[in-house]
Amino acid sequence: MGDLNHVSLTGRVVRDAELKRKGANLVLCEFSLANNYSKKTGETWSKKANFFKLVVFGKMAEGLHPYLKKGALIGIEAELRQNQWEQEGKKYSSNELIINEVQLLSSPKKSNEAPSSSDYPAEEESFLMDIY
């Protein structure tokens, strides 16, 4: 039996997905997903978020790209992959989720809609921009 590598998540798209073409035959769509969790500190609960880098390939990437807009709620099934590289003598690594299946659970919010209490604070979104 092979090793188990299966991730299921729901969350919101952090920023509009980016469609890329590499070479003649490779199409990929990259985006980030925010996934909420609660953390208790003392007697106080606070809302936190995990941020994940996701990639989808091929025809699925082309078909999903128009729907992967900031704020869209989606469910994914994916595999976790680790990328490793060396640059200027230093070793680096990053993790990303390679999507096998996606379910669109809502549409992204329109720009004229008022934000709800479930939206992510600006500091969490800027944190994501800093790490990618």
Local confidence band at 107 (pLDDT 50, 70, 90 cut-offs): low
- What pLDDT does 132 receive? 33
What average pLDDT does this structure show over 7-20?
Answer: 95
Could you write out the three-class secondary structure of the chain? CCCCCCEEEEEEECCCCEEEEECCCEEEEEEEEEEEEEEEECCEEEEEEEEEEEEEEHHHHHHHHHHCCCCCEEEEEEEEEEEEEEECCEEEEEEEEEEEEEEECCCCCCCCCCCCCCCCCHHHHHHHHHHC
Q: pLDDT tens across 34-92, in order? A: 999 999 889 999 999 999 999 999 999 999 999 999 999 999 999 999 999 999 999 99
Local confidence band at 120 (pLDDT 50, 70, 90 cut-offs): very low
Local confidence band at 110 (pLDDT 50, 70, 90 cut-offs): low
How does the average pLDDT of the chain come out, rounded? 84
